[in-house]
Amino acid sequence: MVSGININLFDFQENAVIKLLDIVTDSRSKQTIIVKSPTGSGKTIILIDFIEEYLTKISSSTAFIWLCPGKGDLEEQSRQKMRKFAPHRYTQNLFDALQNGFAAESTTFINWELVTKKGNTAIRDSERKNLFDRIAEAHRAGTEFIVIIDEEHSNNTAKAKSIIDAFSAKNIIRVSATAVENKRYEYLEIDEVDVINAGLITKALYVNEGLVDGMEISNDYECLLDLADAKRKAIAARYKELGKAIRPLVLIQFPNGQPETIRAVEAKLESMGYTYDNGMVSIWMSEDKRDLPDNLTENDATPVFLLMKQAISTGWDCPRAKILVKLREGMSEEFEIQTIGRIRRMPEARHYEDDLLDFCYVYTFDEKYKAGLLSSMDKAYETRRLFLKDKCKTFMLEKEIRDMDFDGLGEREVLFKIHEALVAKYHLGSDKKQNQGLLSDAGYIFGAEIHGQALQGEFVRTSALTESHSYITTHRRIDTHKHGMQLMHSIDAIKSSIGMAQNKVKTILERLFRKGGNPNQKLIALETAEFYAFIINNQHKLREEFREVTAQMAVQMSMQLHPKKSTFHIPEQDFFRYDPNVKNEVEYLSNAYHEYTSGFATSLVRSTCEMLFEQYCERPDNDIEWVYKNGDTGQQYFSIVYVDGIQKQWLFYADYIVMKKDGTVWVIETKGGETKGQDKNIDRQIENKFNAFKAYATKHNLHWGFVRDKDNQLYINNTEFAVDMADEHWVPLLQEF
C-alpha cells in the first residue's frame, strides 16, 4: 500500500498534524480537541494527513467519521479532496455506511443535515436504527472511532449530540475558524500569521479604502459599489500586466436579501454595464441560484459580481474573490467577520509582493463587528438536564398571565406621559426654538443629515476587526424615499422598549417632534427631512427616554387589571447551566431537583445574590423542605403580571419558591445589591415589580420578599419599596426568613 499523501505540507500544517497526534496518543489528554484553524489554512489537507498518519503509525483498527455542515455540499468537496490526495484510502458517504457498515481504516463523510434536520426524511426511523446498529456492529468488531466535526459552530443540537455520543469516540476533533479556548477541552490553534507567511492568504485586509473622514454620501449602495468596482478594475489590470488569467470577483452580501434592496443593487450594476444577461453578474440566494456557472470559483470565470446572502459563509472556496461589499438594511446591523474568510485566499496560493494583489478589500457601513457564530460548546458552561424530586411533584401555585383584552394606556395618554416627562426633565416650554436649543444642549442631534461612522484601516489578523476603534465619520443628506426603511428600523428599536405597535409609536413621535397637527402637543416642529434625521440619529436616546417613562410608578387605572390565571406545577425535568470547573463540588440537598450541586450555583452561572441565597438555604440549621429556582421566561414557569408607567402588561418571573418544613411557602426575588456604596441593581422596573409582587402575595397569603446583597450579607424587604439599602425597610434576611 502507498502511504503518505500526494502533497507537500507547509511547516505550520505539519506541526499541526504532529501536535494532534501527540494529543490523541497521550493517555492524560481530554477526549475533545478544539482546533482553531483560520480560513485558508488548508484544514482539510491537515485533517487528511492526520488520518493518514494515524492509520499508518498508530492504529489501523480505527474508523473516522467526518461530519460537515449542510451548506454547500462540503462533505462531498472534502471527500473529493481525500480521494485526490490519499487515493489509496477508502472513503464513503452515509448511505454507503448504512449499507456496508463502518470498516476499520474507512473515513465516512456525513452531511449534518441528513441526520439532524427536523423533517428531513433522508434518514427514516428504520435507517436511523440501522445507523445505530452499524455503529454497534463496528464496536463489537473492535473498531475504534475518531469523530471530526468540521465547522463545528454550525451544529450543536441535542439530536447532533445523540449521534456523536453513539459513536463513543476515542476522540472528538472539533475544527472551526472561530473556535474559542475552553478549559474543558484540549486546544490547538493555528496562527493566522503562519498562514499568511506561507502565502495561502492575503497579507492583510483593507476596510473602506477610499472613504474620507466627513464624507457626504448620497447613496450607500452606489458609493460602496463604485469604490469596489474601481478597486476590481485596478486589480484586474495588474493581473493582466503580470500575464495572469485571473478575473477578480466582488462579493455583494445582503443581510436578509430584501427584494427592494436586491433590485436597487441590480439597477446600479446595470447602469455600470454589468448584468445577468452579459454574464458579468450571478446571484446566489438560497432560493435563487440564477445563472450560477459551474466554473464560478475558477480563476478565469466570467462573472465579476456575485450577489449573495449572509448565510453563504462556510465551506465555499473561491480564491479569485478579492473584494467584499457588505450592505445593510438598517443602521445597527453587525458584521460577522467569519465572512471575510471568503476573500482572504490567494488565487495561486502565493503572494506577488504587490500590495494591490496581496491585500483583500472590504467596503461596508456596518459599525459593529462580531467574531461569528460561536457554538455553546465554546461557552464556559454546560447545560445539564435534572429531574424533580417526588416530594415536589404535587406542589401547586396560582400563576398570572397577561390579559390580552387589557391593552394599557391609549396612544393619547402615552403621548401625554412622554410629553410631560420630557418637559420636566429638560425644562421645556412653549417656545419650540428654545426647546430645540435645550435638547441640543442635552446631546440630541439636529439637522437634515444622518450622522454615521465607518471602520477604516488595514488589518493583518481578521480578529483585530472586533477590537478596532479606527472610525471615520460619514454624513448622508436625508432622502425620505431612500431612508424610509431606516426610519422604520429606528422606530422598531424605540417601540421594543414600550411594547406598543410600530404605527402608534410613529404617530407619537410625529406629534411630539414633526411639523403639523396640534401645536400644543409639539415640543419642536421639524420639517419632514429633519424629522427623519432626528429619529435615526437619536434612536438610542429616545429609546432610553421611553424606558424611563415606563419605569415610573404605575398607578392602577380605575378600570382595574384582572390578569388571567392558571395553575403552576414545578417542571418534572428542566435544563440548568452548569460550571464544569467548580471547586469542591457539593450536593445542594435543599434543591427541588435530584443531583443539583454547587456547580449549578457558581459566579459563572448565577448572580452574587443568587449564589448567596442558595448557600443560605443550604445551611444545616435551616428549616427548609425544598428550594425551586424558577426560569426567566416561558409558559412552564411561575409568573406574576405587573404593569409599567404606561399601563402596559409585562410578566415578572420571581427567582425562587421555597417550601419551609412547617408548610409555609415563600416566593423570593433576588436583585443586584450594593457594592462600595454603588447600587448594582440594573432593573428599571424594580418598583413596579415590587408593588405587583406585594399585591399578589397579600391576595394569596404567601410570604415574600425582595432580597439584595450588601458586603456579602443578604437583606430582605417585603414592606415599602426603597432603592437605598440603608433604608429601614431593608432588614437582615435571618430576621424575617
CATH (domain of 578) = 3.40.1350
> How far is residue 309 CA from its own chain's centroid?
17
- Is 697 among the domain residues? yes
Distance from C-alpha of 226 to C-alpha of 98, rounded to nearest angstrom: 53
The CA dihedral of 70, 74, 79, 84, to the nearest 10 degrees, is 170
H-state helical runs in 86-183: 94-100, 112-116, 125-140, 158-166
* Residue 669 sits in the same domain as residue 599: yes
Q: Are residues 429 and 397 in the same domain?
A: no
DSSP strands (E only) in 243-330: 249-254, 281-284, 305-309, 321-326
Over the Cα atoms of the chain, what is R_g? 31
Domain annotation covers residue 71: yes
Residue segments in the chain with a per-residue pLDDT below the cut of 70: 1-3, 70-72, 115-129, 152-160, 257, 286-291, 310-315, 329-333, 371-380, 404-409, 551-561, 645-646
Residue 735 phi, psi (nearest 5): -70, -30
> Strands 665-675 and 678-679, how do they pair?
antiparallel
In this structure, the answer to whether residues 73 and 40 fall within a common structural domain is yes
Give domain status of residue 6, yes or no.
Answer: no
Q: How far apart are CA 476 and CA 487, in angstroms?
A: 13
Helix axes 220-241, 259-271, angle to 10 degrees: 50
Q: Residue with C-alpha cell 433604608?
A: 727
pLDDT of residue 376: 46
In the prediction, which pLDDT does 155 show?
47
**What CATH number has the domain bearing residue 327?**
3.40.50.300
CA quadruple 44, 46, 49, 55: dihedral positive or negative?
negative
Per-residue pLDDT, 4 = 73
What does the pLDDT read at residue 69? 75
The HSE-up count of residue 576 (CA atoms within 13 Å, CB side) is 28
Burial class of 619 by CB neighbour count within 10 A (0 to 12, 13 to 18, 19+): exposed
Tell me, what DSSP letter sits at residue 353? Answer: S
List, as own/partner pairs, every contact residues 283-289 make where C-beta atoms lie below 8 angstroms and the sequence separation is at least 24, other chains included. Answer: 283/307, 283/308, 284/308, 284/309, 284/312, 285/254, 285/257, 285/309, 286/311
Question: What does the DSSP assignment read for 203-234?
Answer: SEEEESTT--TTEE-S-HHHHHHHHHHHHHHH
The count of structural domains within the chain is: 4
Which of 536, 551, 566 is where one domain is finished? 551
* End-to-end Cα spacing for the chain: 76
Let me know whether 397 and 343 are in one domain: no
Please name which of 695, 645, 684 lies closest in space to residue 408, comparing C-alpha atoms: 645
472, part of any domain: no
Indicate whether 661 and 699 sit together in one domain.
Answer: yes
| Residue of 656, 636, 634, 653 lying closest to 588 (CA atoms) | 656
Distance CA 66, CA 110 (A): 6
**Quick check: is 463 in a domain?**
no
Do residues 163 and 45 share a domain?
A: yes
Cell numbers linked to 699 = 391576595
Backbone phi, then psi, for 514, in 5-degree steps? -110, 145
Give dist(CA 468, CA 465) in Å, integer.
5
For residue 20 the three cell numbers come to: 494532534
CB 239 within 8 A of CB 357: yes
Prediction pTM value: 0.76
pLDDT of residue 118: 55
Q: Which of 313, 348, 370 is the last residue of a domain?
A: 370
**Residues shown for the chain:** 737
Q: 649 and 508 in one domain?
A: no
| SS3 of 457-508 | EEECCHHHHHCCCCEEEEEEECCCCCCHHHHHHHHHHHHCCCCCCHHHHHHH
* Residues 143, 209 within the same domain: no
**Which residue in the block uniquely carries the three cell numbers 432580597?**
707
Whether residues 290 and 416 share a domain: the answer is no
642 assigned to some structural domain = yes
Flag whether 272 is in a domain: yes
Same domain, yes or no: 255 and 391: no
Q: Specify the DSSP class assigned to residue 566.
A: E
Q: What CATH number corresponds to the domain at position 43? A: 3.40.50.10810
Boundary-marking domain end, from 182, 197, 212: 197
**63: domain range?**
11-197
| 280 shares its domain with 395 | no
Tell me if residue 345 falls in helix, strand or coil. Answer: strand
Residue 390 lies in a domain: yes
- Considering the domain architecture, whether residues 237 and 361 belong to the same structural domain is answered as yes
